[in-house]
Amino acid sequence: MAVAISGGKDSLLMAKLFQELQRQRQVELELEFIAMDPGYHPNIKELLIDNCKHLQIPLHIFEADIFKIAQKIAGDYPCYMCAKMRRGALYTKAQEMGCNKLALGHHFDDVIETTMLNLLCAGSFKNMLPKLKAKNFAGMELIRPLYLIKEKDISRFTGYCGIWPLNCACMVAAKKIGNKRYEIKALIEDLRENFQEVEKSIFRAGHNVYLDSILGWKKDGEHHSYLDHYDDE
Ligand SMILES: Nc1ncnc2c1ncn2[C@@H]1O[C@H](COP(=O)(O)OP(=O)(O)OP(=O)(O)O)[C@@H](O)[C@H]1O
């Protein structure tokens, strides 16, 4: 299994949890810890290496010129393109290293933010899934082991082990522009004041879709409408 380390708090915790699972020998695990350098500033790269050393995570770093390319292709809103290209580079490396799984450090807050992002920005209802089979990389599976863990609990871990984790190390994130995710995060925070357990409701919505009350859906790339079979009954 390849454990993808961005140097952020989430993937560092995920790495430690996998090491703990391996130590307890309850499941048979072969682990590779991989980090892709998308064009980090040298200081950022050093921080990534230092954090992993401090946490005793044996890291393989490889390079891919993603920041520049995403900026070129996607201009003012490169985050989506950057994430897509990152994913491809990670799958490729994981496969090269003989892994059949790629673990990413997305957590509960990422999951509900993605649901809201799709709803409010793309006009679609779509969840981030806890595991999925890679479409373009035969035999590879993507897993998200931190799916149910809340971000605030992860932050507590970071404080406890005394590291200084990286945030997304690009200029867009630094200025907090061009990335709707930050706005969605703030929106959910605001909603929490007036809607009890709003995070739980957003999460549960994906488990409670009433297919008989849906206007249209897409499956295997094809669009369907509830009217397609309206007169059949
Ligand atoms: N440069 C990278 N190298 C390796 N894995 C990465 C890289 N960037 C992202 N990932 C993986 O994808 C996951 C999600 O990426 P995202 O950018 O949303 O996370 P992050 O907030 O930057 O970092 P983290 O999730 O580690 O705190 C990361 O948790 C990590 O597993």
Predicted model pTM: 0.89
Task: Give Cα 148 distance to the centre of its chain.
Answer: 13
Question: Is the C-beta atom of 114 inside 6 A of ligand 1?
Answer: no
Q: Which residue ranges form the domains of the chain, and what is each CATH number? A: 2-215 (3.40.50.620)
Between residues 168 and 141, the one the model is more confident about: 141
ipTM of the complex: 0.94
Q: What tokens were used for 125?
A: 């209802």
- pLDDT tens profile 62-91: 988 776 666 666 666 666 667 778 889 999
Residue nearest to atom 2 of ligand 1 (CA): 6
Question: Is the C-beta atom of 86 inside 6 A of ligand 1?
Answer: yes
Q: Average model confidence (pLDDT) for the chain?
A: 88
- pLDDT tens profile 208-219: 999 999 999 999
- pLDDT tens profile 90-146: 999 999 999 999 999 999 999 999 999 999 999 999 999 999 999 999 999 999 999
| Alpha-carbon gap, residue 167 to 55, rounded angstroms | 17
Question: Is the C-beta atom of 4 inside 6 A of ligand 1?
Answer: yes
Q: Taking each helix axis as running N to C, give the angle between helix 9-24 and helix 42-54, from 0 to 180 degrees, rounded to the nearest 10.
A: 30
Residue 199, SS3 per DSSP: helix
Q: Phi and psi at residue 78, in whole multiples of 5°? A: -80, -5
Is 65 known as a binding-site position?
no
Say yes or no to pLDDT of 177 above 50.
no
